[in-house]
Amino acid sequence: MSIRGKAYIVGSYEHPDRVIPDKSVNQIHAEVAIAALNDAGLKLSDVDGYFYTGTLSMGGTATAEYLGLNNLSYLDTTMTGGSSPVFHLGHAAAAIAAGKCKVALVTLAARPRSERQNRGQPNPEASFEQVFGTNTITMYALAAQRHMYEYGTTSEQLAWVKVAASRHAQYNPHAFLQKVVTVEEVLASRLLSDPLHLLDTCVVTDSGGAVVLASPEVAKSLGRTSVKLLGQGEAVKHGNNGRIDLTHTGAVWSGPRAFAEAGVTPADINYASIYDSFTITVIETLEDLGFCEKGKGGQFVADAGLQVHEGKLPVNTDGGGLCNNHPGMGGMMKILEAVRQLQGTAQPEVQVPNCRLALVHGTGGSLGTRMGSATVILGQEDA
């Protein structure tokens, strides 16, 4: 069963704050949920499907009770790290298409900047790998080093991903970092794990966001500009007992599935929200999604290649996780900016002209090794 045209995004909201020391995670969930429903012209009592992204134990059940969602016929708490909201988007559309619910609410809330929390029990591989000093940054750096070895990618090319994000973020009044940086400044920033510098890494913020999906019948009754879901793909990549190619991601499987269902190609996409936990994440993902040949990602992003109005492909026009907002699971923010682009409500300086098709891609886990990838193709109502 295809989800193409079976569900529409009818409401969305991104929390404006990036440091939220005085509110609980559930308060943030509630704020973004109500705001997104208000945007859609709906109420909490209209929601019959709930999709929760967060780190609370029994979080979906507990937050549903906190929100007063008493009419639920569908609940999903899929956790794949940063890509979770993008998984949820596809799952919500599938649930609506199957008649399991008519109005689906997807929320994300987290406070990693204020809490500096431990994210729970370690994964099974921890006792075998973390004893050797591995962590998130070192694993991404390992992927970057291998990509450089195989394809000649340079630190300067990585830096261009950050430069494009900063040039976009200067127009976002809510962005955590609004200062435009140069390639030279990225390379001069502190080296964290060779070859990744401080400015090659995402920001850490508190935040939240929500989207509301509805069946075609409900969407039509609301009389609002909605965004159509055209296709979705997801995939898991794992360590394969050590036989790993660090230069590709799960996008090599999730991307083609999403494009096939949507009936479009990478050449048709007007705007892309690409998960940017690190600069190397964007380069490998763009290759795997088919926007350029494998190994050519560095050349693709160089010289303002990702910058709106002058680049090859506008990417992360809100500033992305590198500059705007990354509360640990940044897939939600990728969805929200794609919705703004398709509705024509992005910041005027970064609005993509005649944006009709957008791609959203979420990366969860460790690039090149264990990860959950999800790709969604979105379009205007008549797409």
pLDDT value of position 129: 72
pLDDT value of position 121: 58
How many Å separate Cα 116 from the centre of its chain? 21
Percent of the chain scoring above 70 in pLDDT = 97
Region class of 295: left (phi > 0), else alpha (psi between -120 and 50), else beta: left
Residue 84 lies in a domain: yes
Per-residue confidence band for 164, with pLDDT thresholds at 50, 70 and 90 = very high
CB 344 within 8 A of CB 351: yes
- Rounded to whole angstroms, how far apart are CA atoms 352 and 333? 17
C-alpha angle 209-212-213 in degrees, rounded to nearest 5: 140
Residue 93 lies in a domain: yes
What is the average pLDDT across 174-196?
98
CB 85 within 8 A of CB 53: yes
Residue 156 lies in a domain: no
Range of the domain at 82: 8-116+202-380
Cis (ω within 30 of 0) for the bond into 124?
no
Positive or negative, the CA dihedral 123, 129, 132, 135 is negative
User: What is the rounded average pLDDT for all residues in the chain?
Assistant: 95
- Rounded to whole angstroms, how far apart are CA atoms 337 and 369? 28
Per-residue confidence band for 127, with pLDDT thresholds at 50, 70 and 90 = low
Region class of 196: left (phi > 0), else alpha (psi between -120 and 50), else beta: beta
pLDDT value of position 120: 54
Condensed to tens digits (0 to 9), the pLDDT of residues 30-60 reads 999 999 999 999 999 999 999 999 988 789 9
DSSP character at residue 200:
G
Domain of 262, CATH number, reads 3.40.47.10
Residue 306 lies in a domain: yes
Q: DSSP 3-state assignment of 294?
A: coil
- Rounded to whole angstroms, how far apart are CA atoms 150 and 148? 6
Of 236-245, 279-288, 364-373, the one with minimum mean pLDDT is 236-245
What length is written for the chain? 383
Residue 190 lies in a domain: no
Q: Where are the alpha helices (DSSP H) in 170-243?
A: 183-188, 216-222
Radius of gyration of the chain (CA): 19
Residue 127 lies in a domain: no
CB 156 within 8 A of CB 302: yes
Residue 166 lies in a domain: no
Domain count of the fold of the chain: 1
Q: Where are the alpha helices (DSSP H) in 77-151?
A: 84-97, 112-115, 126-129, 136-151
Residue 77 lies in a domain: yes
In the block, tokens 């069946």 appear at 215
